[in-house]
Every structure is written in structure tokens, then in C-alpha cells.
A and B are shown apart, each in its own frame.
Chain A
Amino acid sequence: MSQQTAGTLTTETKRSSRPGGTLYRGREGMWSWVLHRVTGVAIFFFLLVHVLDTALVRVSPEAYNAVIGTYQTPIMGLGETALVAAIVYHAFNGIRIILIDFWSNGVKYQKLMFWIVIGLWVITMLGFAPRHLMNVFGH
């Protein structure tokens, strides 16, 4: 540690290659929104595929069964876990957003409500995931 007066040190400027910009360090509010958007887009693409495969029953019940049969794999089982995780978060956080918009104290308690959403998500997934994964990998 230099004990000289508070002047600037001899300039030794290093040029380094760092990313173009840093990520904005938002707090709970920003990350809840990012998660909400990501899960929302994921659910949208699931629904798109889901409408298509369900519509196959109009083509023929055999075609429907053939496509649904291909879903009975461990990978799709894990995908279903991810889907439920996304929907559960999106649903609980959706209630949080409604409360922020329409409850007079919603803005004040938004951080607390975010952690409640995470808590409810953990509880729901603890109930769902083991049971579901036992079904997927148990047979």
C-alpha cells in the first residue's frame, strides 16, 4: 500500500478484451420479469406443438396414437417436468403481477411477493417432481 499523498499512480493502462457491455444488475423485479418472459415463450411453443398433435386426432386416431407414443420417453418425461416448472412459475408470478397492478400495496410488497412465488414454486415442484419422475423412470 503506497503511503504517498492521494495523487494518481503512474499510469499503466492495460487494454483488455472484455465483453461489449455488462449485464444490467437488476434486482428481484427484473429477474422475475426475465423468468416470466422466458417461461411464457416456452409455454407458447409447447402450446403450439400441443395444438398440432391434438389436432391429429381429426386426421386419424392411429396417427394421434403414433405421435403421442413417441412422447413416452425419459427425455420427454424430463421435458414435462420442465414444462410444469415453467407453468407453475408463470402462474404464481402472474398472480404477483396482478397484485402489483391492482392491489394498492402491491408495489410495496413486490420483493416479498417474489420470494413467496419462489417458495410456492419450490413446494409445488417438491410435490410434483418426485412422483412424476418415479412414473417416468419407474416403468
Chain B
Amino acid sequence: MSTATLEATTDAAAANTTSTEPMSDDPTLRPFTVTFIIRRFDPDTGDEPKWQDFDVEMYATDRVLDALHKIKWEQDGSLTFRRSCAHGVCGSDAMRINGRNRLACKTLIKDLDISKPIYVEAIKGLPLEKDLVVDMEPFFASYREVQPFLVANSAPATPGKERIQSAAQRERFDDTTKCILCAACTSSCPVFWTDGQYFGPAAIVNAHRFIFDSRDDNAAVRLDILNDKEGVWRCRTTFNCTDACPRGIQVTKAIAEVKQAILRGKA
């Protein structure tokens, strides 16, 4: 490349011929075939889920979601999956990619081993509806149960309507504000797979977000809800949730903090 730059200063024509060469050598600009093996389920036939292979031409900079789009648009329109924003914010496309819960829109092809097929299947522990789509209702039901909203019944500490919060007080629960409710954590939890009654990591993370918020008045109520047989004590610290979180939330740490708050009786 440095010789090409040198030549460019002396001979524009020569530079033209040499600079086109590295362009085509750049592996990121060349498509290659990637095999996807997707676990399909059709509720209309009621057959057991089946694995189906798809060969897709991909660039290294493409994401798994791009592959799903290509399959749906160009090969098999019946492939069913959820996605909305496609940029890792809405939390619609959590799925199991090569055995781990990931967002399809945040998983780049170059980060996967494409010498082997890429396995894609729905997240575990929630009722399978079709292909990669699961029923999220049990997940949102436990989310609602922890009262994931600000409860501020008391008058503000300072005169006026504002509830002043210091930077340190905000920092206390900053990590758990990042949750996008994609269910990657909850459906990676071995306890949740076998015990659907367990609140699951996501509900506890969202309880944590308000329990440790200095403006909130209902920490005791939430701690009481989670101090349950199916609450935080079901956590077996397998750290699958921390590994699965696409936002990098230290989920197991948040659960541990809620456990400690219950033990000590205060947030």
C-alpha cells in the first residue's frame, strides 16, 4: 500500500492500476458462502421442530440478522422471526446463535467461525410459537410483577417539584438502566428453563433499577416481592445471564446486590 501511495504522487495512471488491486484483495469486500442451520417449527403442521440448511452469500461486515433477511426475502418467505429496529435497541431479535443467546442484529459474521455452519434457534424456556418466535408473555408477566416504574409518594426532599439526585446516587443503579427487555438473560438461565415460575434475571434487573434509585419509595415492597421461593433465591449464579446480555449488564452482580439488600433489610 505504501508503494502505491508513493507512485500516486509521481504517476497518477500507475497509481490507478496498483490501487485497484488491494481493493479486491480486501477480504471484507468479498462475499463468501455461509451455511446457516435454522431450527424451524410450523404450528400449523404441529410436527416436531426440524433443522433446515440455508446457504447465503455474506460479507464479513454483515450480521446474522442480514442473513435471516436474505433467507426470508430470497429463499424461503415462510421463515419467521422478530426484529424491529435492527440496531440493538428494541430487543426483538434475541435468539440462540451457535448455542448462545445473542441479538441477531449485533452478531457480526466475522466474529463467528464460518468454516462450520452457524446454528440459529429460538431462545429456550418460553413457549415456541413459530420458527424463531416465542411467546414473550410469561417473561413480561414477571417483569410487570416487580413494579418496574417509579413510585414516589413522598414530597421531594428539596422545595419544589424536583427530586434531586447526585451523580453518585445515579451511578448506583446505572448498569441496570441499560436493559432492553430482549429476554436473552432470562432464557439463558438453567433455572428458568425448568422452573417457569422463577422471576428470571430480567425482572430482577429491572427491580434493581428502582430498588437502588434514591428517588423511589417502594424498595421495601419490591424486596418483599423478590424475597420469595421463586424470587432471587432461585438464582444459582451460573453467570449465563451476564454472558448473554447484549448490553453488557452485570446481571448476576445485580441479582447478588438484591440478595444482599434483602438480607440486610435495606437497599
Q: Report which A residues bind B (CB closer than 8 A).
A: 1-9, 11-16, 18, 20-30, 32-33, 97, 100-101, 106-108, 110
Contacts and interface: CB of A to CB of B under 8 A. Distances in A.
Contact of A33 (B30, B52, B238): B238
B37 to A, nearest CB: 7
B74 interface: yes
A1 B242 CA distance: 38
Contacts of B99: 22-25
A28 B48 CA distance: 32
Contact of A12 (B55, B56, B76): B55
B129 interface: no
Chain A interface, DSSP helix/strand/loop, else mixed = loop
A29 B240 contact: yes
Contacts of B190: 24, 26, 30, 33
Interface string B233-253: 000111110110000001011
A32 B237 CA distance: 10
Given A12-B55, A15-B52, A29-B240, A24 B33 contact: no
Interface in B248-267: 250, 252-253, 256, 259
Nearest to A107: B253
A8 B250 CA distance: 39
Interface of B: 30-33, 37, 39, 48-59, 70-71, 74-76, 96, 98-100, 119, 121, 124, 188, 190, 236-240, 242-243, 250, 252-253, 256, 259
Contacts of A12: 55
Chain B interface, DSSP helix/strand/loop, else mixed = mixed
Contact of B37 (A18, A100, A108): A18
Closest 3 CB pairs of A and B: A29-B239, A25-B99, A6-B31
Given A24-B99, A29-B238, A29-B243, A11 B124 contact: no
A14 B36 CA distance: 11
A2 B57 contact: yes
Contacts of A8: 55-57, 70-71, 74-75
Contacts of B239: 26-30, 110
Given A7-B74, A18-B51, A24-B99, 19 more contacts: A2-B31, A6-B58, A8-B55, A8-B71, A9-B33, A9-B57, A11-B75, A12-B55, A13-B52, A20-B49, A21-B121, A24-B124, A26-B239, A26-B240, A30-B239, A33-B190, A33-B236, A107-B237, A108-B253
